[in-house]
Amino acid sequence: MIEELEINETTAAQFAQLVLNCVEQEYPNSNLYWAESDEDIKPPRELTPAFYGCLDWHSAVHGHWLLVRLMRHFPEASFSTAAKQALNRSLTLEKIQGEIAHFQRLPFYEFPYGVSWLLQLAAELYEWNDAQAKQWLIVLEPLEKLIAGNLQRWIKALTRPDRTGMHNQTAFAFGLMLDWARITENTDIAELIENKAQQFYLGDRNYSLQFEPLGYDFLSPSLAEADLMRRILPTTAFTDWLTNFLPQIPVENTANWLEPLKVDNPQDYMQSHFHGLNLSRAWMLEGIISGLSKSDRRRETLRSTAVVHRQTGLAHIVSEHYAATHWIGTFAVYLTTNRGLQRQIISIRNS
């Protein structure tokens, strides 16, 4: 069991229910992809039969990750039976073959955001010492391998990073992908990501936080980049890099240098992204802290800022409109279970 779990069974049940409410809800649906023929224009349940609910493919995928994550930590919880039934309906050989057929037609579908969550789902199953999880992993593995092969091609061909704050952002996806590669001991892809990340980000200097958010972001371009680089660089090198990249981080303990975003209209699908931005900022700040030495004077202000974003982001999750509820539970669970911290990944692999 991972230490420092920051979620109780009652809260976990609320987050799980958000996914159970939509994992088989096909409409409304938002699916952006390049259609080559009539074969690519079908109802979502036919195009991607395993992952078609929760508005879009990536939300369906990380909704399944959420269910696995919470079942892993609360196997006797009241929601576990319903979660297991939902996963059994989705993760079948026939439905995954349908997903494979879709990726064979569209090899870079949902790159990079959606596929990074698919790899996280595989990593979660890989780590979980449970007979049912092993069966789900066997079913999912052909899709995982196909995406991993496509991923190598995609990374090698990538010449510039996407520095926006939404689905196409490179740094956040690289972080999820790198964690998956290390957990599953895919050293080739891990090395590929590490090298490409250094090529893209190692020379970055003097980033201006005043430009964030760039729009209706749910990811911070700057913090995601720093959260990626702490996964790659040793402590001393990361400390120096962070000083050059974000020199405006205060040394004194203050949280007002980076304030949470407010959602005025929870029914606005784009504005609801700010809920996710607050949550992802919180876990990225905690990731950055984990990459610094304990004597670093910036740790306290980073921690204070993370706490404020955490509290703001978690405040209204369960009661919000479908604009947020179809996806925001994943961000809450990723944050409250400390999923992205490197020390977690090391401890799991050694357990």
For position 255, what pLDDT does the model report?
A: 63
**What value does the mean pLDDT take over residues 315-336?**
92
Fill in the DSSP letter of residue 306: H
For position 32, what pLDDT does the model report?
A: 84
Q: Is-contact 292 245, C-beta < 8 A?
A: no
Residue 2 lies in a domain: no
Query: Residue 121: exposed, middle, or buried by beta-carbon count in 10 A (0-12, 13-18, 19+)?
Result: buried
Fill in the DSSP letter of residue 40: G
Q: What is the mean pLDDT of the chain?
A: 93
Residue 1 lies in a domain: no
**For the chain, what is the domain count?**
1
For position 319, what pLDDT does the model report?
A: 76
Helices (H), the chain: 9-20, 44-47, 57-73, 80-90, 93-105, 113-127, 131-157, 170-183, 187-201, 221-232, 235-245, 273-290, 299-314, 322-325, 328-336, 342-349
For position 317, what pLDDT does the model report?
A: 86
Q: How confident is the model at residue 347 (pLDDT cuts 50, 70, 90)?
A: very low
- 270-285 pLDDT per residue, tens: 999 999 999 999 999 9
**What value does the mean pLDDT take over residues 65-75?**
97
Q: Is-contact 147 99, C-beta < 8 A?
A: no
Residue 133 lies in a domain: yes
For position 349, what pLDDT does the model report?
A: 32
Q: How confident is the model at residue 318 (pLDDT cuts 50, 70, 90)?
A: confident
Calculate what percentage of the chain has a pLDDT beyond 70: 95
Provide the domain limits for residue 144.
9-349
**What value does the mean pLDDT take over residues 45-73?**
97
Residue 206 lies in a domain: yes
CATH of the domain at 44: 1.50.10
